[in-house]
Amino acid sequence: MSSNKKHFRLPDQEVAAFWERVQIRIGREAKVDHRGMNTIPKMWRWRVGLSGHKIALECLGQSLTFDAIDAMSDQIAAYLLSRPYLQRGDRVGIMLPNVGQYLLIVLGIQKAGMVVVNCNPLYTRKEIQDQLVNAEAKILFTIPNVAKSPAEAEIPCLQEVVLTEIGDLLPKLKRTLLNFVVRHVKKMIPPFQFAKHLTVTPFRSLLQPVSVETRERIRKIEQDIKAEDLAFIQYTGGTTGISKGAMITHSAMVYNMLQSKAGFRKDVVSKAEEMLQVPGPANAMCLHPLPFYHIYGLICCLLTATACGAGTITLPNPRDLKALIKLIGRKDLMMLTSINTMLKVLLNDPGLEKLKLPPEFVVVAGGMATTPDVSKNWVLKTGTKIQEGYGLTEASPMLTMVDPVNPQSGVAGYALPETLIKLRDEDGNDLTLGAGSEVRGEILAKGPQLMLGYFKNAKETAHLISDDGFLQTGDVGTISPDGLLEIVDRKKDMILVSGFCVYPSEVEARAQESGLVLECAAIGRPDKRSGERVVLFVVPKDATVKKEELIKFLNDSLTNYKRPMEIHFVEVLPKSAVGKILRRKVRDLADEQENQNASHTNQKSEESASAPSGATAKSV
């Protein structure tokens, strides 16, 4: 497009007025009021003042009140402030599964005025190295179960590693027994050795009494933190594929907590408030099995529940269906956050049918669209409905949620308070709002929950933000006359595996690093279990290359959900006149391959290989 061409733009006031009318119609607040609590420490301080005696977190059978978490997160903040190499604004990595320590560490980092860098505990050496080097992280909190990857990585900026055992918050006898079983009976900890120049500190040594002077220093830092200060650098492939750190401010996080809260049913939100009137620590509880290192698990699950005063129940291994179903059946549980893949697995477990969930029980699903069969069968088996939403990391993450009173399946829902959503056509012109299912365009969003930009990557930030300040999501959608947003396609080539974004460029780059590949193209294909699976088409370097070699290399280089589940060797890949690989034509090749497989079900294809058992997720 010519840079001097004038494009049609809807005025922000017109977009805001449209969505305010929608909010009024569905009974949702059009504005959110943070009452001056525009940072995470201020929000936390307010909540502790109201709910200090109530249970805030439960994991592995151990409950912690808001007061207890407040005290222990002070201890972590005090330790960070005592380290001579750390100062306010420095980045601190967290590479943990869902354990109780996670919330304490996040709050401790925030109280010290530092920035959280969440890391997937399944990351390989290369992935964790790239992320922590880019973030310039100086200290990492992790667990021995997954410490092998960072131990083998070359991270010059890293000066200290704090190691926590899975049972570190349990009473002494139970802690000792669990940690022994994990290490010596189940042998879940592979051998690792951090570089000699790194300080390795046991987590429990941080839990020391905090002096009055240090506590006063922490409170002053909490008050000094500004709304526009960075709270998190949350890594994502964005809309272009190479991993980038979304810079999310305190204000954006707090706004999205409150926006998400406004998207829930009012009776659900009020349950935690009602429990304040009940003596003792008992609380309204929410079950959050999704990973906290993921933006959905972090905001929509952990932090929003905390802001509401509800208690969070989590477990380190959500694949333990027996334990998960037992927790779902608890009488004090009011909400389950999940994802389509997990709900499908639960529906196939006979234990779910034995549960009697109350009709007011809420199931929130995100990360990927809930398929019609899962939505229908969930209602039939449990009598409860699924509430969905839509968002992305760059929006902290929530942009829309369905009407909680009358939730519809398979749609993105309605814009959250103070969130502007509009559509733009391929010529760069804004489309009429509420034009219906025949008018499709790229979804653009603006609101107080948007990130500042990508860390140390102004070029990619500029590509993502439009000339009028809207986030260009890369998703294509429609908006009905009553304001219902529906996602109909993805503009980009991202592959969505069980709610996790896989970017073809990363898979292709890793394959090229093997030295076995002349050229390649990764695409997504429908998968009944995970929504999509990664399929890689490869032109091998020469005739001596074996698929097994490439599979082994990719298993060692990529997290399980990024690994190709099929690899096809081909002589050439389809290209444009200028030599660009045409993914749509590669998809046609995949269609042909699947048709051949259907026609020759008793023959083993010579052009494909399924990934071996190494593709299964690690247990952490």
Locus of tokens 């997504």: 524
pLDDT tens per residue across span 358-369: 988 999 998 877
Predicted local confidence at residue 282, as pLDDT: 95
Order of all β-strands in the sheet with 531-540: 517-527, 531-540, 566-569, 609-610
3-class DSSP assignment, residue 41: helix
| 609 compared with 48, residue with greater pLDDT | 48
Residue 605 has pLDDT above 60, yes or no: no
Backbone phi and psi for residue 370, each to the nearest 5 degrees, phi listed first: -80, 125
Mean pLDDT, the chain, integer:
91
Residue 544 has pLDDT above 90, yes or no: yes
| 506 compared with 565, residue with greater pLDDT | 565
Tell how strand 414-415 and strand 230-236 pair up.
Answer: unpaired
Q: Could you give the percent of the chain with pLDDT greater than 90?
A: 73
Distance in angstroms (rounded) separating the CA atoms of residues 343 and 365: 9
What tokens were used for 320?
């333990």
CATH code linked to domain 495-615? 3.30.300.30
| Sign (positive or negative) of CA dihedral 514, 516, 521, 523 | negative
Q: Do domains 29-454 and 495-615 have the same CATH topology?
A: no
Residue range 187-211: mean pLDDT, rounded: 97
Closest CA to 424 of 402, 452, 446, 405: 446
Tell me the residue type at 115: V
Angle formed by the axes of helices 212-224 and 40-51, to 10°?
Answer: 120
What's the pLDDT band for 613 if we cut at 50, 70, 90?
Answer: very low
Backbone phi and psi for residue 345, each to the nearest 5 degrees, phi listed first: -65, -45
| Sign (positive or negative) of CA dihedral 321, 341, 533, 596 | positive
What tokens were used for 386?
């699924």
Residue 240 has pLDDT above 60, yes or no: no
356 backbone φψ class: left, alpha, beta (φ>0; ψ -120 to 50): beta
Residue range 324-351: mean pLDDT, rounded: 92
pLDDT tens per residue across span 129-150: 999 999 999 999 999 999 999 9
Say how many C-beta atoms besides its own lie within 10 A of residue 282's C-beta.
Answer: 13
* Exposure string for 214-232, b = 16+ CB within 10 A, e = fewer: bbebbeebbeebebebbbb
Predicted local confidence at residue 239, as pLDDT: 44
The DSSP element (H or E) to which 381 belongs, if any, is helix 372-382
pLDDT tens per residue across span 393-445: 999 999 999 999 989 888 999 999 999 999 999 889 999 999 999 998 999 99
3-class DSSP assignment, residue 567: strand
Distance in angstroms (rounded) separating the CA atoms of residues 407 and 379: 12
Asked if CATH classification 3.40.190.10 holds for the domain at 29-454, the reply, yes or no, is no
Predicted local confidence at residue 2, as pLDDT: 43
Residue 610 has pLDDT above 80, yes or no: no
Give domain limits for the chain: 29-454, 495-615
Three-class secondary structure assignment of 418-441: CCEEEEECCCCCECCCCCEEEEEE
Distance in angstroms (rounded) separating the CA atoms of residues 598 and 343: 29
Distance in angstroms (rounded) separating the CA atoms of residues 564 and 300: 29
Q: Could you give the percent of the chain with pLDDT greater than 70?
A: 93
What's the pLDDT band for 156 if we cut at 50, 70, 90?
Answer: very high
Backbone phi and psi for residue 104, each to the nearest 5 degrees, phi listed first: -60, -45
Predicted local confidence at residue 400, as pLDDT: 97
pLDDT tens per residue across span 492-516: 777 889 888 787 878 888 998 899 9
Locus of tokens 């840079």: 3
